[in-house]
Amino acid sequence: MGTLGAVFRHPDDIYPLLKLKRAVKNAAKQIPPEPHWAFCYTMLHKVSRSFALVIQQLDTDLRNAVCIFYLVLRALDTVEDDTSIPTEVKVPILLAFHSHVYDRDWHFACGTKDYKVLMDQFHLVSTAFLELGKGYQKAIEDITQKMGAGMAKFICKEVETIDDYDEYCHYVAGLVGLGLSKLFYASGKEDMAPEDLSNSMGLFLQKANIIRDYLEDINEIPKSRMFWPREIWSKYVNKLEDLKYEENSVKAVECLNDMVTNALTHAEDCFKYISALKNPAIFRFCAIPQVMAIGTLALCYNNIEVFRGVVKMRRGLTAKVIDRTNKMSDVYGAFYDFSCMLKSKINKNDPNATKTLSRINAIQKTCMDSGVLNRRKSYIIQNGPNYNSTMIFLLFIILAIIFSYLSANRSTN
């Protein structure tokens, strides 16, 4: 009933949802014939809901490099995330993983479901990796080495300070930004982006994830996954897991708002990074995940549901973001609207209300100063279902009824 109910409430989700459905179908048709590349693209669509489609729309040469970059790092992350692997086994693998990418005989069974298949068939990823240009191989190996070392460091180290938090997010996502900037440059399609901007692109995405996935991570079996920094949560509770208990709801939401306010600090750098991109496909690849992230932060802000289940953007809105993020004015527009959504939820008694408000105002000022906000219709802020989409919806229903009536008649004649 989820999506159908949502479509009733948001009838203008239908067309973008149909386009998304078609894009997913087309992507499936574009699976390359060679068995190792077919395995890689099939796995990409299985293990990455959010990135597969935006990777698919990149030009071939870069698409293959980004696809392999994704699968190599996802395999590394599968080792890191598998809390059933003892530390003395896990750390050496994380440290040496970058060299295993060249070795088609190397395997390590871990992870569950599709992640386990990726690990069991990893030799097919190595085969494809070895077919990439040397420039791409060098960039991927370099980032894999640094990420493995960073992950290994935090296997035995807690995320205590906000600096630890930024350092951990740098290792698992900031480095992805740096690596992608190197791949874009190696493809000759973009200039080399400044490292601090590439890093912020990763931190904004990873922090949105870490905030949204609090409950899933703290309830991880056999061992909790804890990424919220003690420097923040210790202002509200004595133990990180205390945030999930009913009696701590007020403190939990205040802590959540503090985490969201921290993540907003990276938005300006993301605007600078995205607005410097020249290639339309690379622009969409970089912009769409960032719009999803500000949407997720706006959804999570002041929302107790983060401590009750996983909060997710509705599929129709995701489809709209993918369909309508094509130029910088779309990015400023979406960030402006989602900031309005977040701002409307700021309660002045929240201990961070002033800081949150000033960060939101700064983001909205940058969007307004771009001077492109007025030339667009908001698809995020809807004051009630707008009639033309309702008309489309009704027309759709009527057509369906006529069609089924006619086909029923034809079959009886």
- From the list 28-36, 173-181, 251-259, 326-334, the region that binds ligand D61 by CB under 6 A is 173-181
| Annotated catalytic residue within 104, 154, 185, 225 | 225
Give which of ligand D61, Mg ion, none residue 142 binds (C-beta under 5 to 8 Å, depending on kind).
none
Q: What's the length of the chain?
A: 413
Residue with tokens 């729309």: 57
Q: Examine residue 81 and tell whether it contacts Mg ion (CB under 5 A).
A: yes
Q: Which of 205, 306, 311, 331 binds ligand D61 (CB under 6 A)?
A: 205
Let me know if 324 is a catalytic residue: no
Nearer residue to Mg ion within complex by CB, 77 or 330: 77
Let me know if 225 is a catalytic residue: yes
Angle, helices 315-324 vs 2-9, to 10°: value is 60
Q: Which of 17, 44, 62, 66 binds ligand D61 (CB under 6 A)?
A: 66
Report d(CA 166, CA 240) in Å as an integer: 18
Nearest to 173 by CA among 29, 45, 51: 51
| Annotated catalytic residue within 41, 108, 122, 168 | 168
The two counts, helices (H) then strands (E), for the chain are: 21, 0
Who contacts 287 (Cβ-Cβ below 8 Å, separation ≥6)? 274, 325, 330, 331
Q: Examine residue 141 and tell whether it contacts Mg ion (CB under 5 A).
A: no
Report d(CA 401, CA 388) in Å as an integer: 20
Q: Examine residue 286 and tell whether it contacts ligand D61 (CB under 6 A).
A: yes
Nearer residue to ligand D61 within complex by CB, 150 or 333: 150
The answer to whether 389 and 12 are in contact (CB under 8 A) is: yes
What letter represents residue 311's amino acid? V
Q: Examine residue 150 and tell whether it contacts ligand D61 (CB under 6 A).
A: no
Nearest to 179 by CA among 208, 212, 207, 150: 150
Element (H, E) at 399: helix 387-412
Q: Examine residue 132 and tell whether it contacts ligand D61 (CB under 6 A).
A: no
Let me know if 184 is a catalytic residue: no
Q: Examine residue 94 and tell whether it contacts ligand D61 (CB under 6 A).
A: no
Let me know if 168 is a catalytic residue: yes
DSSP 225: -
Q: Examine residue 75 and tell whether it contacts Mg ion (CB under 5 A).
A: no
The answer to whether 305 and 311 are in contact (CB under 8 A) is: yes
Whole-number minimum distance, CB 275 to ligand D61, in Å? 14
Residues that bind ligand D61 (CB under 6 A): 51, 66, 69-70, 73-74, 77, 81, 172-173, 176-177, 180, 201-202, 205-206, 209, 285-286, 289
**Catalytic machinery residues:** 168, 212, 225, 285
Residues that bind Mg ion (CB under 5 A): 77, 80-81
